[in-house]
């Protein structure tokens, strides 16, 4: 994949990630039912979605390690990165949920 294409994809993701929170900032959040947009969810639902993503992350890490033929250290480093980010996201959403629940 050319580097230019990766840069374009990264910029699209970055711009979208900056615009969507602004759009949904003062809108009512959904706590029941199916919602496609992550930014329209309550903190409780964001936390639940993070938990649901853990099996997908494991499958993704296995696929990356097989396809990229990584050594053990690289696999552990990438896995640690993904799980730390996931844990931080879960913990952040949990604390915000408990704060706004009161």
Query: Is 89:50 a contact under the CB 8 Å cutoff?
Result: yes
Tens digit of pLDDT at every position of the chain (102 positions): 688 888 999 899 999 989 988 888 888 888 887 887 888 888 999 999 999 999 999 999 999 888 988 889 989 999 999 999 999 999 999 999 999 887
CB 42 within 8 A of CB 31: yes
- Cα four-point dihedral sign 61, 64, 69, 75: negative
Chain center to CA of 58: 13
Per DSSP, the residues of 1-39 read --HHHHHHHHHHHHHHHHHHHHHTTTSPPB-SS--S-GG
Nearest CA-CA partner of 43 in 102, 86, 90, 87: 90
**pTM recorded for the entire structure:** 0.76
């Amino acid at each position: 994949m050319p580097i230019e294409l990766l840069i374009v994809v990264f910029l699209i993701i970055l711009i979208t990630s900056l615009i969507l929170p602004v759009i949904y900032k003062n809108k009512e959040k959904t706590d029941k039912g199916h919602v496609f947009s992550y930014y329209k969810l309550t903190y409780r639902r964001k936390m639940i979605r993070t938990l649901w993503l853990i099996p997908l992350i494991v499958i993704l890490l296995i696929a990356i390690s097989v396809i990229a033929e990584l050594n053990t250290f690289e696999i552990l480093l990438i896995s640690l990165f993904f799980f730390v980010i996931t844990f931080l996201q879960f913990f952040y959403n949990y604390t915000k949920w408990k704060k706004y629940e009161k």
